[in-house]
Amino acid sequence: MKKFGRVINNASLKNYNTYKIDARCKYLIFINDQNKLRDLLDYLNKISVKYFILGNGSNIILPDYYDGVVIKLELNPFFIESNTITVGASYMLNKLANITVKESLKGLEWAAGIPGTVGGSVIGNASCYEESLMPLIIKLEVLDNGVLKTITTNDFNYSYRHTTLKDDKIIILKATFKLDSGNKEELLEIIKDRTKKRVGSQPLEYPSAGSVFKNPEGYFAGKLIEDSGLKGYRLGGAEISEKHANFIINKEDATSQDIKALIKYIRNKVFEKYGINLILEQEIIN
């Protein structure tokens, strides 16, 4: 595999997931070239070895051991021309939001607190304050079953925290956004205000992967969990945050099992009380 990129055998993934689960994988490979990525996937498919693409690991629950290849993309190009910006899939969304605001470009300021990559955020349709990346995307360069393609948002469907790109196992390589011109000071103020709200309402002092469950239509998952009396409930090293009940935090060396058991516990309790089936927003990797 070395011909495709830097490989680490039996690698620790603790620093590659925001829950800081002390997970390991058989191989971790860093890929900085889209053709090498295509060749690697072709090779892994031929030898029937499982893999997954890792962004910033901020929306996933890793297993304690992944018996396959974890592919960490290092695709970071950045081009800006007037109001149009093209970035690689590994570019951090919060960095992009801050840079565009400094360029007096409006449209991405809501994304300043999201600790994911552009690729992970496009594939999962990251959103906040009812804003998402989708209306801003002009085109995406993707790898679709071994074929390099350029697509637009007309080529797939998306809904709240979901895209069919994900179902179709499409890999994002680059994204091009078109933003509006804006007032830098006003946009910086929006970021400041939203950061203050996040710091005040989210347990950012602990490792987590953001909201655990999607908000059911007409409800807030956090409120349902809080009203079920679950704030502060702990299983192993994983705890339901006292600050925001839709966050599970890694309080002390939480394992993947601790987090998954706590998720099951929450779902059962909320279902018992409200008859509502909470749907996971985070993705369990097996």
Ligand X SMILES: Cc1cc2nc3c(=O)[nH]c(=O)nc-3n(C[C@H](O)[C@H](O)[C@H](O)COP(=O)(O)OP(=O)(O)OC[C@H]3O[C@@H](n4cnc5c(N)ncnc54)[C@H](O)[C@@H]3O)c2cc1C
Q: Which stretches of the chain bind ligand X, using CB under 6 A? A: 18, 52-60, 73, 89, 114-117, 119-121, 123-124, 126-128, 171-172, 202, 204, 208-210, 283
CB of 109 to ligand X, least distance (A): 13
The count of C-alpha atoms lying within 13 angstroms of the C-alpha of 78, restricted to the half-sphere facing its C-beta, is 12
Of 139, 134, 146, 135, the closest CA to residue 170 belongs to 146
CB of 175 to ligand X, least distance (A): 9
Q: Which of 211, 228, 241, 256 is catalytic?
A: 211
**Nearer to ligand X by C-beta: 205 or 268?**
205
Per DSSP, the residues of 85-144 read EEEETTSBHHHHHHHHHHTTEES-GGGGG--SBHHHHHHTT-EETTEESGGGEEEEEEEE
Residues in the chain: 286
**Nearer to ligand X by C-beta: 120 or 182?**
120
The secondary element (H helix, E strand) that includes residue 64 is none
**Nearer to ligand X by C-beta: 128 or 138?**
128
Of 285, 282, 236, the closest CA to residue 262 belongs to 236
Q: Among all chains, which residue has been given the structure tokens 């039996």?
A: 10
Concerning whether 256 is annotated as a catalytic residue, the answer is no
Concerning whether 281 is annotated as a catalytic residue, the answer is yes
CB of 204 to ligand X, least distance (A): 6
**Nearer to ligand X by C-beta: 13 or 266?**
13
Concerning whether 211 is annotated as a catalytic residue, the answer is yes
Which residue(s) pair with 218 in the sheet? none
Closest-approach residue to ligand X (CB): 55
CB of 285 to ligand X, least distance (A): 7
CB 244 within 8 A of CB 201: yes
Q: Which of 161, 194, 198, 234 is catalytic?
A: 161
Instruction: State the catalytic residues.
Output: 161, 211, 281
